[in-house]
Copies of this chain bind each other. A is one copy, B any other.
Amino acid sequence: MNTNPLSATFRLGFLGAGQLARMSGLQAFRYGIQIGVFSDRDENEPVQFMTPHSQTGSFDSVDDLTAFAESCDVLTLENEFINSEILKQAQEDSGTPIFPAPDSFALIENKLIEKQTFEDAGIPVTPYALIKDEDHLKKFGDEHGWPYLLKSSKGGYDGYGNETVRDINEAIVAFENLGGNSDRDIVAEAFVDFTHELAVQVARNETGHVVYPCCETVQEDHICVAVKSPAPVDKTVQEKAQELALQATEAIDGKGIFAYEFFLTPDGELLLNESAPRPHNSGHYTIEGCVTSQFENHVRAVMGLPLGSTKLRKPAVAMINLLGTDRRDAQVDHALEALAASDGHLHVYGKLDSKVGRKMSHYTLLGDDMEQIYAKAQKVTKGIRI
């Protein structure tokens, strides 16, 4: 076991092998350390091309996770498809610390507990209720109006595990589809009228904390298609979102990097919508857009190092998600205009297979004027096929 994380034999282990682990791993390498990766898939995943230390196993197996943890000096998560109890046991059995800590993760892994945790900390959240049966479904619609959202309390992301229900009949079907009749907790969430969807990342460890600028996430069908930083909203709103994000991180004693998504209502209220105990798509722009990226502060946070400045490098930063356009072997076509644009930065995740809508790549453009660079970023990426 290494006591100084800045050692050439120090190994940071990632639970999950996707683009978030990949981009974090690139920062880990910058510090001269090694990375390990644990995946539950046999196929070659983005991070497996980046290290000789790759293990496969089940996220449900304490033994598998413990064996992996024993080969690393510290572990971190890149997704939430894991149970905090299993994580805790693997931490105890291996003696390898895990950040965010299983106890922190336990407070947000379940959507119901997450809402209660943040509500208890005085953070406004979207109206919600635990749904157990048809009566609950009906009552929530009567109180908060139709349509509303039904969410599985665990495992949802990017619209998966969520269903919009317009009436009681749709609600009954969705409840069944989401597993409400088996052991799964289903949470109803009111649709909130909003002018903007905002996001803030926070890095925190025992040395202190840093808060990223408040950015806007532009969504289509519950998928983030673009990010603008800073968000085109009042400075006071930006600061309030940053304050709430820090408060939320403190409420779970979070150590690592965290992302928070907010709705900004027409009357200027901020409601916390989602949290993520890991690097987040809304923070990809920070790689070039901020002095220290979310990935670098993620690595610093879990290594116990001092955190770096989150200042924007330019007045306006736009990020465009480049989703799969075709089902084929992954390759990026027609990206030359995007590559040639001054201060335009292309990131490709190294996934072998492209599928329509799959997160394959992103593009960041820095400039002085948001309207201008957002329009330009859209223009130069429009023809890209992946």
Q: Which residue numbers of A lie inside 8 Å of B, CB to CB?
A: 2, 4, 6-9, 22, 26, 29-35, 46, 48-52, 54, 291, 300, 305-306, 308-309, 311, 313, 329-333, 335-336, 339-340, 342-343, 346-352, 361
Q: Are A49 and B51 in contact (CB under 8 A)?
A: yes
Q: Are B329 and A7 in contact (CB under 8 A)?
A: yes
Copies in the complex: 2
Q: Are B8 and A330 in contact (CB under 8 A)?
A: yes
Q: Are A336 and B8 in contact (CB under 8 A)?
A: no
Q: A48-B52, A54-B52 are in contact. Are A348 and B30 (CB under 8 A)?
A: yes
Q: Give chain B residues whose Cβ lies under 8 Å from the Cβ of A31.
A: 346-348
A26 to B349, CA, bound (A): 12
Q: Are B339 and A308 in contact (CB under 8 A)?
A: yes
Q: Are B9 and A311 in contact (CB under 8 A)?
A: no
A32 to B336, CA, bound (A): 15
Q: Which residue of B lies closest to A44 (CB)?
A: B8
Q: Give chain B residues whose Cβ lies under 8 Å from the Cβ of A361.
A: 32
A33 to B352, CA, bound (A): 10
Q: Are A34 and B49 in contact (CB under 8 A)?
A: yes
Q: Are B32 and A50 in contact (CB under 8 A)?
A: no
22 contacts across the A-B interface (CB closer than 8 A): A4-B331, A6-B348, A9-B352, A26-B26, A26-B30, A29-B50, A29-B350, A30-B348, A32-B330, A32-B347, A32-B349, A32-B351, A32-B361, A49-B51, A50-B50, A52-B54, A291-B343, A305-B336, A305-B339, A306-B340, A311-B342, A313-B313
